[in-house]
Amino acid sequence: MLELLNGFVVELRNAGLPVSLTENLDAMEAVQHIPIEDRDAFKYALGATLIKNHAHWRSFETVFEVYFSLRGPEYKIGDGDDETDIDEMWREMQEQQQQEGNGGQGGMDGMTPEEIAQMLMQALMNGDQGMMRAMAKQSVQRFAGMEPGRPVGGTYYLYRTLRNLDLDGMLDKMMEQSREDAPDDLTSLEERLEKEEYADRIEKFKGEIEAEIRRRLVEDRGAEAMAKTLRKPLPEDVEFMHASRDEMTALKKSLQPLTRKLAARLARKRKHGRKGPLDFRNTVRHSLSYGGVPAEPKFKYPRPAKPELMVVADISGSVAAFARFTLMLVYAISGQFSKVRSFVFIDGLDEVTDYFKATEDITEAIHRVNTEADVVWVDGHSDYGHAFEVFWNQYGKDVGPKTTVLLLGDARNNYHASQSWVVKEIQQKARHVYWLNPEPKSYWNTGDSIVGEYGTHTDGVYECRNLRQLEGFVEKLA
């Protein structure tokens, strides 16, 4: 047991989760109070002692599933001989089918895909957990075509299984069915709720299939190897440029608490600044209460001017996500700046400040930026040179000594003219010019990237591949 837990903790640390020694000891003590057969309780006991940040819970879950996937009776992979509940249920289900005259023989292999779909739909409509799990197990066995030692990722098997089941079509069919079943016509509200319920169940079913595939892979390759391939970065370490859709949603979620924290921290930083020079008037005024003796010197509090911010962001395909996050972050803490103006470009440039002013809802504003802003000039491939030229001609006069200009993008200019003199001009007029690049440093200045050329005219080029780096930069800025 001790060894098992130690191995688990090592695996967690490999996944980037901070686990201290005391927490490790706590976990060992905790599991002694938990009936070891109770898998859920075991998981919560470990979670409560080892994981102290909710954003890390998902990573913890993955490691847990992989590491303990083959330990525990009900999670064995059934070959059909095991007398587990699920298998029993499966058999019952088949008998039922046979009685109805559909004639399924010898497991799923003898059934046509239509019959399987029918059964799955039944299971989903009834919301029967056990049945769904059994279905997931059988579907994987039948459709995934898993062979030991085959060097393919789990996603491949998942894709194969899901393609055969056609879950999207399933949702429509289920809706039709429930429309038929209902005594009266469903109101649109009822229909919506019903649909969400089914969608939720299908999502759960997908989860079951994924878990089943993972279990089989672990059996084939061993837990350590699997944990390595499944290791997912923590939300704050996810790279903007390569985030999957799920990771994006997770990122968005962690953005909100982050901006709150950041705003609080910045406000505090401003308040608790150093003391300024002696405030002569105030000191004399207070000296009156001591009979004219300046016993209590008073100091001026420095009021650092809030910077004015101009964000100029490339929103072409490859770096769009990064620009979106930076804009969201900047606007969420816009109270820390005296003025924020934002511009977006691909090969043309457009000001989008008004979109953010018009609504409180940042997501909606971003949506408008993506759909309405006029950013294409010729062909819709990034042209930093032209965009900067437009910026300088139209808005250059607004750049002043209080302005901080942020340039966002990977500086991949498609071999157009760089027009880096614009950046040089801006630097001379503005307080600061920073360049944020979402690409890893090692890619800079390779191919058509000319970040180095622009960079010489800025006050700093920063690598901003993930939320952590972005947060660090913004804190420095305000």
Partner 1 sequence: MTTDNGAVADTNRFQNVQGVRDDLKEVNYLADDGIAGVAFLADRLGKPILVEGPAGTGKTQLAKSIAEITGSKLIRLQCYEGLDESKALYEWNYKKQLLRIQTERGDNEDWTEMKDDIFSDEFLLTRPLLEAITADEPVVLLIDEVDRVEVETEALLLEILSDYQVSIPELGTITAKQIPLVFLTSNNTRELSEALKRRCLYLHVDYPELDREREIVLAKVPDITESLADQVARIVRSIRQLDLKKAPSVSETLDWARTLMILNIDTIDEQTAKETLNILLKYQTDIAKATKELSVDD
Query: Rule CB under 8 A: is residue 397 a binding residue for partner 1?
Result: no
Question: Closest CB to partner 1 among 23 and 453?
Answer: 23
Tell me the pairing of strands 339-345 and 308-314: parallel
Binders of partner 1 in range 310-339 (CB under 8 A): none
* 245-274 residues near partner 1, rule: CB under 8 A: 257, 260-261, 264-265
What's the farthest any 2 CA atoms get from each other in the chain? 107
Using CB under 8 A as the binding rule, whether residue 359 contacts partner 1 is answered as yes
Min. distance of Cβ 361 from partner 1 in angstroms?
6
Question: Judged by CB under 8 A, does residue 48 bind partner 1?
Answer: yes
Answer for which of 6, 20, 96, 338 binds partner 1 (CB under 8 A) is 20
State the nearest-atom distance from the C-beta of 400 to partner 1, in Å: 33
When binding is defined by CB under 8 A, the residue of 14, 57, 129, 280 that contacts partner 1 is 57
28 or 376: CB nearest partner 1: 28
Nearer to partner 1, 29 or 95 (CB): 29
Q: How many helices (H) and strands (E) does the chain have?
A: 20, 6
Q: Token pair of 242, please?
A: 């390569």
298: three-class secondary structure by DSSP = coil
User: Over 136-189, what HEC string results?
Assistant: HHHHHHHHHCCCCCCCCCHHHHHHHHHHHHCHHHHHHHHHHHHHHHCCCCCCHH
Candidates 47, 107, 307, 396; binder of partner 1 (CB under 8 A) is 47
| DSSP code at position 79 | -
Paired tokens of 475: 């804190």
Q: Of 18-26, 61-69, 157-165, 336-344, which segment contacts partner 1 by CB under 8 A?
A: 18-26
Alpha helices in 239-343 (DSSP H): 245-271, 280-287, 320-332
255 class by beta-carbon count within 10 Å (0-12 exposed, 13-18 middle, 19+ buried): buried
Q: Decide: is 45 part of the binding site for partner 1 (CB under 8 A).
A: yes
CA distance 461 to 441: 10
For residue 44, state whether it binds partner 1 (rule: CB under 8 A). Answer: yes
- Asked if residues 74 and 40 have their Cβ atoms less than 8 Å apart, the reply is no
Place of tokens 């399924």: 104
34 is a contact residue toward partner 1 (CB under 8 A): yes
Tokens of 445: 């200045």
Is 358 a residue that touches partner 1 (CB under 8 A)?
no
Q: Does 363 bind partner 1 (CB under 8 A)?
A: yes
Q: Enumerate residues 183-212 that contact partner 1 by CB under 8 A.
A: 187-189, 191-193, 196-197, 200
**Are the C-beta atoms of 229 and 153 separated by less than 8 Å?**
yes
Crossing angle of the two packed helices 188-221 and 129-139, in degrees rounded to 10: 50
Q: Which is nearer to partner 1, 53 or 394 (CB)?
A: 53
Q: Among residues 72 and 153, whose Cβ is nearest to partner 1?
A: 72
Tell me which residues touch partner 1 (CB under 8 A). Answer: 20, 22-23, 26, 29-30, 33-35, 38, 40-41, 44-45, 47-49, 51-54, 57, 187-189, 191-193, 196-197, 200, 257, 260-261, 264-265, 359-361, 363
